[in-house]
């Protein structure tokens, strides 16, 4: 049995599809579906069970001898969420409880961290898991801080605890700017790729934020955009390599500009380019990442050799295989 928290969400549902395609027979999803179309993300999957987050720990207690791996992708991921207490309860405390259970029952744990832990990038994008290094990072929002808090909690356990206080395999993945199918339920938190596709396919221009930083001209703000299928491949590889543990960046290793992204969408749709720049909302202006680029040395040195999809190829697949079809779901 494989347990995926957040399994009906964006990355989680892609992982569930990948596990199913790889032959996994008993997949259990832990998530809340709500009242929108989030259920469609898992509508094509053959699931062994679907449980709520409230039932997660009791379920693991009752089925510990049957669970072969836990993928912990569930979290409050909205970077604009302001209820810090709620974020801590969901993103930190539950993660600590799950780590402790996986250590007790000797179950591998692969969990989602985030590139938001790097803040404005002044300290670099190095996936160093030591307490000393992590202490120098400064996330810009409560979501990023909650992920960083758990990374630091893990580092404390690793440096001060005994071996039996950690799962037999653990891996934290610092996801960069992931895009791809099944993100449609995320409303204002969808990827820039989907946001701009919706604008362009509706007959409007691509709308990009103006730069409020003199070091970046409008449209040159850059992120490490990573195709979701590549993220799934890394997680499946980790499952098949149980001796590999660590905190790993998960991006492409190459930053691309927002203008590049818009150009890739125009090329994939065949629509003539038109870009409109608007002011970055003041509520997020001082929490804005102008540049992110994953240093991928750690994952490569751990033995992962597969290449990552280029922005142009990823956007083309997204548009032609999903967004421009009658059924955009994986």
The token pair that represents 87 in the structure block = 């974020």
Q: What is the rounded CA–CA span in Å between residue 124 and residue 128? A: 10
Sign of CA dihedral 51, 56, 59, 60: positive
Q: What is the rounded CA–CA span in Å between residue 259 and residue 268? A: 14
Does 264 map to a domain?
A: yes
pLDDT of residue 9: 97
pLDDT tens readout for residues 4-20: 999 999 999 999 999 99
pLDDT tens readout for residues 142-194: 999 999 999 999 999 999 987 789 999 999 999 999 999 999 999 888 999 99
Q: Do residues 67 and 33 share a domain?
A: yes
Q: What is the rounded CA–CA span in Å between residue 286 and residue 273? A: 29
Q: Do residues 157 and 207 share a domain?
A: no
3-class SS of residue 224: coil
CA 165 to the chain's CA centroid: 26
Does 209 map to a domain?
A: yes
pLDDT of residue 42: 98
pLDDT of residue 79: 62
* Domain extent at residue 203: 184-222+255-291+318-323
Does 97 map to a domain?
A: yes
Helix 94-105 vs helix 142-160: angle between axes, to the nearest 10 degrees?
30
Stated pTM of the model: 0.94
Q: Is residue 116 within 8 Å of 142, Cβ to Cβ? A: no
Q: What is the rounded CA–CA span in Å between residue 212 and residue 75? A: 30
Mean per-residue pLDDT of the chain: 94
Q: Do residues 240 and 276 share a domain?
A: no
pLDDT band at 78 (very low <50, low <70, confident <90, very high): low
Does 192 map to a domain?
A: yes
pLDDT of residue 288: 79
pLDDT band at 80 (very low <50, low <70, confident <90, very high): low
Burial call 180-194: b when 16+ CB within 10 Å, e when fewer: bbbbbbeeeebbbbb
Q: Do residues 150 and 89 share a domain?
A: yes
pLDDT of residue 316: 97
Q: Do residues 96 and 160 share a domain?
A: yes
pLDDT tens readout for residues 24-70: 999 999 999 988 899 999 999 999 999 999 999 999 999 999 999 99
Q: Do residues 268 and 283 share a domain?
A: yes
Q: What is the rounded CA–CA span in Å between residue 201 and residue 157? A: 49
Q: Do residues 67 and 202 share a domain?
A: no
pLDDT of residue 35: 83
Residue 99 has pLDDT above 90, yes or no: yes
pLDDT of residue 164: 84
Residue 81 has pLDDT above 70, yes or no: no
Q: Tell me whether residue 290 is one of the annotated catalytic residues.
A: no
Q: Do residues 128 and 91 share a domain?
A: yes
Q: Tell me whether residue 186 is one of the annotated catalytic residues.
A: yes
Catalytic member of 118, 143, 197, 318: 143
Does 313 map to a domain?
A: no
Domain count, the chain: 2
Which stretches within 222-296 are classed as H helix? 228-240, 258-269, 282-285
3-class SS of residue 246: strand
Q: Do residues 88 and 218 share a domain?
A: no
The CATH number given to whatever domain includes residue 127 is 3.40.50.720
Q: What is the rounded CA–CA span in Å between residue 138 and residue 302? A: 27
Catalytic member of 104, 105, 186, 304: 186
pLDDT tens readout for residues 283-326: 777 777 889 999 999 999 999 999 999 999 999 999 999 999 99
pLDDT of residue 125: 96
pLDDT tens readout for residues 191-205: 999 999 999 999 999
Q: Do residues 155 and 248 share a domain?
A: yes
Does 329 map to a domain?
A: no
Does 330 map to a domain?
A: no
Q: Do residues 79 and 111 share a domain?
A: yes
pLDDT tens readout for residues 252-290: 999 999 999 999 999 999 999 999 999 988 877 777 788
Burial call 95-110: b when 16+ CB within 10 Å, e when fewer: beebbebbbebebbbb
Q: 317-324: which pairs have CB atoms within 8 A and are 24 or more residues apart?
A: 317/227, 317/229, 318/179, 318/180, 318/181, 318/193, 318/194, 318/197, 318/227, 318/268, 319/197, 319/265, 319/268, 319/269, 320/268, 321/181, 322/180, 322/181, 323/194, 323/197, 323/201, 324/201, 324/269
Contacts of residue 202, defined as CB under 8 A and 6 or more positions apart, other chains included, come to none
Q: Do residues 10 and 30 share a domain?
A: yes
Does 98 map to a domain?
A: yes
The CATH number given to whatever domain includes residue 280 is 3.90.25.10
């Amino acid at each position: 049995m494989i347990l995926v928290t957040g399994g009906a969400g964006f990355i989680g549902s892609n992982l569930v599809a990948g596990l199913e395609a790889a032959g996994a027979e008993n997949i259990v999803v832990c998530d809340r579906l709500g009242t929108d179309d989030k259920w469609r993300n898992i509508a094509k999957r053959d699931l062994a069970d679907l449980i709520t987050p409230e039932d997660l720990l009791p379920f693991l207690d009752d089925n510990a001898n049957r669970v072969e791996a836990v993928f912990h992708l569930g979290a409050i991921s909205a970077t604009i969420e302001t209820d810090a207490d709620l974020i801590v309860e969901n993103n930190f405390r539950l993660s600590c409880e799950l780590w402790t259970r996986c250590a007790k029952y000797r179950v591998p744990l692969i969990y989602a961290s985030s590139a938001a832990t790097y803040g404005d990038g002044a300290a670099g994008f190095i996936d160093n898991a030591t307490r000393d290094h992590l202490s120098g990072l400064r996330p810009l929002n409560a979501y990023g801080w909650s992920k960083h808090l758990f990374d630091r909690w893990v580092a404390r356990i690793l440096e001060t605890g005994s071996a039996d206080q950690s799962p037999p395999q653990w891996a934290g993945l610092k996801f960069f700017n992931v895009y791809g199918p099944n993100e449609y339920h995320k409303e204002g938190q969808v990827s820039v790729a989907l946001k701009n596709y919706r604008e362009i396919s509706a007959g409007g221009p691509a709308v990009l934020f103006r730069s409020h930083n003199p070091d970046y001209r409008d449209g040159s703000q850059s992120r490490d955009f990573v195709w979701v299928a590549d993220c799934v491949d890394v997680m499946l590889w980790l499952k098949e390599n149980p001796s590999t543990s660590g905190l790993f960046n998960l991006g492409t290793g190459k930053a691309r500009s927002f203008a590049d992204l818009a150009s890739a969408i125009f090329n994939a749709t065949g629509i003539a380019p038109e870009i409109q720049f608007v002011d970055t909302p003041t509520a997020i202006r001082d929490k804005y990442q102008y540049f992110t680029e994953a240093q991928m040395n750690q994952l490569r040195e751990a033995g992962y050799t597969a290449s990552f999809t280029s922005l142009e190829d990823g956007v083309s697949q997204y548009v032609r295989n999903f967004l421009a079809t009658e059924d955009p779901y994986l």
